[in-house]
Amino acid sequence: MLKDITLGQYFPGNTVIHRLDPRTKLIFVLLYIIALFNAKGWAANGVMIAVTLLSMAISHISLKNIFKGLKPMMFIIALTALLNLFYTQGTPIREGWIITWEGIERSVKMMLRITLLITGTFLLTYTTSPMALTDGLERLMNPLKKLHVPVHEMTLMMSMALRFIPTLIEETDKIMSAQKARGADFETGNLIERAKALLPILVPLFVSAFRRADELAVAMESRCYHGGEGRTRLKQLHFTGIDFVALFLGLLLVAGIFVLKHYGL
């Protein structure tokens, strides 16, 4: 059950999008999000859908994988749609009904926006290895080091967390099986009872996570880790032609969406 989590999953590949510098992809996603939140009219939303589908096609990420990622978010999407449907003022679709034409339009657009937002960010993690992603993030935030922001430590923690997600999930499964074998019941009872039932999983999980962290720290020190200073990288990041093309297209997208917004489309 826990194996279905797609967070931070990476599908190796060799498409143009896979080969883009992680910094380019991070900036592009940022631009994409800016464009998305300024896409008001149907034309603008159509452009956003087209861009998303095109990116999916180029990176060979199938709709199935996107849906897998969307599944856990279904509840939030549905809830937002429902709230927008019932709480938007305007002309009712029939005399005396709460549902308005404006409400339908808004809830559809809302659903679209959230779906596209998730799809866009998933495309980033699906096509970029977590190492490259944290590396890119570190390089992008490099200027913040001057303000004594511990950029290297933050990104290292992030990549460690991603590294240990599968390990800890495996461990959780193991502990759950062990507790079930001793008669623990996780499936019945009300919410509070079930939350209480999780305690015998969390305690051993935390204890073991701390022990792991301790051993990991010793192992890292044994391999000459001494902070971010003077570190080199196996894979040096460098911008190439396609990176500039991609960034240009990103800027073009934002500009285009703003133009459409200006004309109310």
Partner 1 sequence: MAAIVEFDHVFFRYPEATENILCDICLSFEKGSFTAVLGHNGSGKSTLAKHMNGILLPTEGTVRVSGLPTTDEEKLLDIRHTVGMVFQNPDNQIVANVVEEDVAFAPENLGVPSEEIRQRVDDALRQVGMYEYRLHAPHLLSGGQKQRVAIAGVLAMQPELIVLDEPTAMLDPQGRKEVISTIERLCRDRGITVILITHHMDECIHADRLIVMSNGGIAADGSPAEIFSHIDEMEREGLDVPETVRMIHDLNEDGYDLSYSALQAEACAEEIATAILRRRAVWQS
Query: In the set 15, 142, 167, 240, which binds partner 1 (CB under 8 A)?
Result: 167
Query: In the set 233, 239, 248, 249, which binds partner 1 (CB under 8 A)?
Result: 233
116 token code pair:
């596209």
Tell which residue, 110, 55, 118, 248, has the closest CA to residue 47: 55
Binding mask 181-200 for partner 1 (x = CB under 8 A): --------------------
Question: What sign does the CA torsion over 239, 236, 229, 129 have?
Answer: positive
162 is a contact residue toward partner 1 (CB under 8 A): yes
Binding mask 125-144 for partner 1 (x = CB under 8 A): ----xxx-------------
10 is a contact residue toward partner 1 (CB under 8 A): yes
Tell which residue, 129, 157, 156, has the closest CA to residue 237: 129
2 is a contact residue toward partner 1 (CB under 8 A): no
224 is a contact residue toward partner 1 (CB under 8 A): yes
238 is a contact residue toward partner 1 (CB under 8 A): no
220 is a contact residue toward partner 1 (CB under 8 A): yes
Q: How far is the CB of 40 from partner 1 (least distance, A)?
A: 39
231 is a contact residue toward partner 1 (CB under 8 A): yes
Query: In the set 153, 170, 185, 193, which binds partner 1 (CB under 8 A)?
Result: 170
How far is 106 from 128, CA to CA, in rounded Å? 33
Cβ proximity to partner 1, 77 vs 160, nearer residue? 160
| DSSP letter string, the chain | -GGG--TT------SHHHHS-HHHHHHHHHHHHHHHHH--SHHHHHHHHHHHHHHHHHHT--HHHHHHHHGGGHHHHHHHHHHHHHS--S-BSSTT-S-BHHHHHHHHHHHHHHHHHHHHHHHHHHHS-HHHHHHHHHHHTGGGGGGT--HHHHHHHHHHHHHHHHHHHHHHHHHHHHHHHTT---SSS-HHHHHHHTHHHHHHHHHHHHHHHHHHHHHHHHTT---STT---SS-----HHHHHHHHHHHHHHHHHHHHHHTT-
Query: In the set 75, 222, 241, 264, which binds partner 1 (CB under 8 A)?
Result: 222
226 is a contact residue toward partner 1 (CB under 8 A): yes
Interacting stretch for partner 1, rule CB under 8 A, among 34-42, 73-81, 190-198, 219-227? 219-227
Cβ proximity to partner 1, 147 vs 224, nearer residue? 224
221 is a contact residue toward partner 1 (CB under 8 A): yes
Q: How far is the CB of 53 from partner 1 (least distance, A)?
A: 28
Q: Which residues sit at the interface with partner 1, rule CB under 8 A?
A: 10, 12, 129-131, 159-160, 162-163, 166-167, 170, 212, 215-216, 218-226, 230-236
